[in-house]
Amino acid sequence: MTGKAREDGGGPFRPGPTPVWIGAGLLVGALLWLVTMSVVRGGLLEASGGSLWWTAVPLAALILRGGMRWRRRHLYPPSAPVYLAWMSLACLLALYLVWSAFPEGLFSGTTPEGRAVLARPDDAHVWLVVCAVALGCLLMLAGGRRFEPRPARRFLPMVGVGAVAVVLVGVSLARFVVPWVPHRVAGDLGEPEAIPATVSGVGWEWRPPQGQEIRAVEVWDHGPLVLLSDGVTALDGASGDERWSYLRPNDPVDDVWTRDGRVHVRHLVGETEDGEDLRATDVLDPADGRVVEVRDDLAPPPRDGSYGEWDLEILGEISDLPEGCTVTGVVNHGPLIVGTVGCPDEDGELFENAVGANDPFGWEGTGVDARLVAVDREEEIELWSREWSVPPGEEGPRQKTVPEPGEGHVVVLERGPEGRTLVLDAETGEDLVVLPEEHAYSADLRGVVAADANGAVIARETGELETTFHRIDPSGEVTGTAVVEGVYLHDITIGGSSIAVLEDALAFVGARDHVGESGYTLVAPFGETVGWESPTMMFSEGRAASEAIAVPGALVAVARDGGSERLEGWTP
């Protein structure tokens, strides 16, 4: 009887066939789940770590084939050491695959510091498959030898337990942990923070999920709105916490943009019978991240401040310019195109030369009638225009894009009528902010830093390595002045993204060295003079930031260095 008990694996030191059968079920479940996800996905799973994990498929088949006594007359005896040896090697290989296929972004504790937690569904399901193979192998090894799949009334339920366990974990993973479209809607957000009056240091840092890039950072009610290559994430300005997010890491995303108070994510959804790509645009409410509609007729608009050759043609066609006039430059403002136009004087000495040139301004002996024209590309109508004369030999007007902290679009025109700098409402062409007379024509005016309906900030060169910034209201009255001295703002373009306007100060970000390996943030409160040695000059390690955006609760500095992108939240 003792010998028979050992033969059947029922001795006191043998766990019996149950773990072996459950292990076989895990292997079967792993293969079934792999096939299921490939069918649902419409293609084979692809892990970001490479294709080594595919070794788990033939390994699972080999363990199933050699780990059970499918025939009574088997090549090896039931408890042969050879079985334990090769099964141990198989388990070691499976455990290595578990380690190599581990998705870092699946858990907050394993995600690199500062980076958002997000694992690709493919990576998570691949890891589930290799984990099931490894656990199944270990259970079959624990049995100590091969067992026959008999009797069926005991064998099949145990195999079913293992297979069903894999499927249940996979379904839970797909439903709750790594959904195909990770979408989190905001809860109760409370009252939004105000734009900080000033900042004193880095309060938080945030990095996008692995494999995603920052397209742009905009402002929403409670902080920065981060437009990513795969979707959008809204952060809390005061804490840096994610308030809502909508990501499509598994679908090709064409573009992400904001317009008319909505966030748009355009992505691929399939193909037509003719093999053409089908795309849809998900429209989100930026207040909480809810999808309010899905449309297939929305294409990405031109970026604000950008332009292309076709925009020159569109403006010329819609505005019906007289013969001989040339569009010298355009800037996109949402659906509007605002362009500068030059029409040379027909009686000028070099009229033919001016007409044939891309820029009719600056020719001696030939005056030019200048125009600033705005058209609506969607309605195909001209909205407004302003005209003035430019004397012979003088440079023509030039538009400049500047940050627009408030709502609406702003046109900044340098070298306008009589050489003035104008700040206009893009929709009406009316003066939005009137620059003070002593500065509007001044040769030391470096430009407009930012402007909206509440006023503007302008910069003047007032000395060697000294720049004076004036905050003015819409009527042109100076309401605050900040002076930066001893700092060469070589990498900061006036009106560019390196300067942000806080409630009571200006903030500058730039590189501390010529290679940009470390950066600085300089805060210049209105009413003060600051410089390199000021306490408001703060340095930071890591790649220097290139953009600064004032948002509710923080000053957000954006640093880009290839695949290493981050946001720094500077707080009071």
Average pLDDT over residues 330-344: 89
pLDDT for residue 176 = 74
Q: What is the pLDDT of residue 308?
A: 65
155 has a pLDDT exceeding 50 = yes
- What span, in angstroms and rounded, lies between the C-alpha atoms of 548 and 507? 8
Residue 10 reports pLDDT greater than 50: no
Spatial separation of the C-alpha atoms in residues 403 and 394, rounded to whole Å: 28
Q: Which residues, 6+ apart, have CB-to-CB distance to 181 below 8 Å?
A: 246, 247, 248, 250, 251
Distances in whole angstroms, Cα of residue 391 to Cα of each of 163, 347, 368, 443: 85, 13, 7, 18
Please tell me the distance from the alpha carbon of residue 499 to that of residue 507, in angstroms, as a whole number. Answer: 6
If you ran DSSP here, which 8-state letter would residue 275 be given? S
Q: Which residue has better confidence, 57 or 308? A: 57
Which pLDDT belongs to residue 7?
42
What residues form DSSP beta bridges with 282? 265, 294
For 225-249, the DSSP string reads EEEETTEEEEE-TTT--EEEEEE-T
Cβ proximity of 452 and 498 under 8 Å: no
Q: Write the secondary structure of 390-422 as one string of H (helix), E (strand) and C (coil).
A: ECCCCCCCEEECCCCCCCCCEEEEECCHHHCCE
Neighbours of 215 (CB within 10 A): 18
pLDDT for 503 equals: 93
Between 169-178, 186-195, 229-238, 545-554, the lowest mean confidence (pLDDT) is in: 169-178
CB 248 within 8 A of CB 230: yes
Q: What are the tens digits of pLDDT across the range 74-89? A: 444 455 677 788 888 8
At 110-142, the pLDDT tens digits run: 555 544 445 667 778 888 899 999 999 898 888
For range 377-406, the mean pLDDT: 88
Which tops the pLDDT comparison, 187 or 455?
A: 455
Q: Tell me which residue of 214, 241, 206 sits closest to 230, measured CA to CA.
A: 214
**Considering the chain, what percentage of its residues have pLDDT values greater than 70?**
83
Residue bearing the bigger pLDDT, 185 or 492: 185
Q: Dihedral angle at the C-alpha atoms of 511, 513, 518, 523, nearest 10 degrees? A: -40
| pLDDT tens track for 16-44 | 678 888 888 899 999 998 888 888 766 67
Res. 2 pLDDT band, cuts 50 70 90: very low
The tens digit of pLDDT for each residue in 282-306 reads 999 999 999 999 888 877 777 765 6
Q: Which residue has the higher pLDDT, 312 or 358?
A: 312
Query: Residue 46, Cα to own-chain centre: how many angstroms?
Result: 22
Among the listed residues 156, 158, 108, 106, the one whose alpha carbon sits nearest the alpha carbon of residue 131: 106
Mean pLDDT of 457-471: 90
Q: Is the dihedral of CA 218, 283, 243, 246 positive or negative?
A: negative
